[in-house]
Structure 1
């Protein structure tokens, strides 16, 4: 099932939660892949890490962002997504104890990298009062799709990332986001990602629970 999350001509905001250093590359790749895919489709895009969270501390929750819009992006120098349309968790334990739905817009879609079913994770999602704004929860077991996790210090603390984009589990997660939300086309992601098979597998195997 694919859910269209874009509202009219408004900018789509994607927030990717991850853990500092150990999974930073995968979250950054997820956001970068979605943004670059949007750009190939003629959209205006941004992707960046959260400078409030940096420097990356090992295991500490941090975030990466993407913005996709059919019109020029006015919030060019705003380095956080305060009103996300899509919330992505690069690792399942982030669902506990973190206000992942803070500021979530009505129609928000949550995508979680997990082997669990969406129904089993609903009770952990915070803040509870914002759950009414969630259109769907999607789960993808990206860790078993053969992509692996890329460990690198590139891209941390505002530095450039010289490593290949979408070689690890972030490729599968991006594919799952594309399927669950319809924010970009599968072909656009495949044309950019290093691990094209992982993108397709993420797209094909994601489980989407409409709420």
Structure 2
């Protein structure tokens, strides 16, 4: 007899456990990130998020502190080419994490149904964080990404309010 269970994966349908193994095999994680974005400043002390980053990486932190202050908490900072701090919560006028929960689903939380209620890209604090990544890494042109951003005012404000600390890591 096969092992069967009722799970969140099946939405109330009884099925064989192996039926959902494909979900586990398609999980994506970047083992060598060039860019790391911390959406909350206390995450800087939580774990080794720099693990696997090759030399020449960029770290963006959503914080009101300066990069000179935050660098002391960054593990493996010798791998960084730059540390960027931006107060995305203030720039985006973000009141509280669970305020307007449906809109935040695409931004910070995996809230079921958020995509149906809000199809905008970067509706909240993501706009300043995207601005920080785009300006400091050049991964995409500002003119290309800006029309897609919902919170354009926060995106533009972040471009002027970034605190960038260049570091000496050589690009491998």
Identify whether the pair has TM-score above 0.5, normalized to the shorter chain.
Answer: yes
Q: In structure 2, what is the Cα distance between the partners aligned to 1:203 and 1:166?
A: 15
3-state SS of paired residue (2:101) = coil
The residue that corresponds to 1:83 in the other structure is: 32
2:151 counterpart (191, 195, 198): 195
The residue that corresponds to 2:62 in the other structure is: 113
2:115 counterpart (143, 161, 186): 161
Deviation above 6 Å: which 4+ runs of structure 1? Answer: 157-160
Instruction: Note closer, same or farther for the CA distance 1:198–1:157 as it changes in structure 2 (3 Å cut).
Output: closer
Q: In structure 2, what is the Cα distance between the partners aligned to 1:80 and 1:157?
A: 20
Instruction: Note closer, same or farther for the CA distance 1:147–1:189 as it changes in structure 2 (3 Å cut).
Output: farther
Gaps of at least 5 residues in structure 1 are 1-50, 53-76
**Which digits, 9 at most, give the CA deviation of each residue in 1:67-89, with x for residues without a partner?**
xxxxxxxxxx5600100000111
Larger radius of gyration: 2
User: In the alignment, is residue 136 of structure 1 matched against residue 92 of structure 2?
Assistant: no
Q: In structure 2, what is the Cα distance between the partners aligned to 1:182 and 1:142?
A: 19
Q: In structure 1, what is the Cα distance between the partners aligned to 2:113 and 2:28?
A: 15
Q: In structure 2, what is the Cα distance between the partners aligned to 1:109 and 1:158?
A: 31
Q: In structure 2, what is the Cα distance between the partners aligned to 1:86 and 1:144?
A: 22
Give the aligned length: 134
**Bigger relative contact order (CA 8 A; separation at least 6):** 1
Q: In structure 2, what is the Cα distance between the partners aligned to 1:146 and 1:123?
A: 27
Q: In structure 2, what is the Cα distance between the partners aligned to 1:83 and 1:158?
A: 29
Q: In structure 2, what is the Cα distance between the partners aligned to 1:151 and 1:177?
A: 25
Query: TM (normalized to structure 2)?
Result: 0.69
The offset of 1:158, in angstroms, is: 8.2
User: In the alignment, is residue 205 of structure 1 matched against residue 155 of structure 2?
Assistant: no
Gaps of at least 5 residues in structure 2 are 1-22, 168-172
Q: In structure 1, what is the Cα distance between the partners aligned to 2:111 and 2:91?
A: 29
3-state SS of paired residue (2:115) = coil
Q: In structure 1, what is the Cα distance between the partners aligned to 2:142 and 2:49?
A: 26
Instruction: Answer 1 or 2: which has greater strand percent.
Output: 1
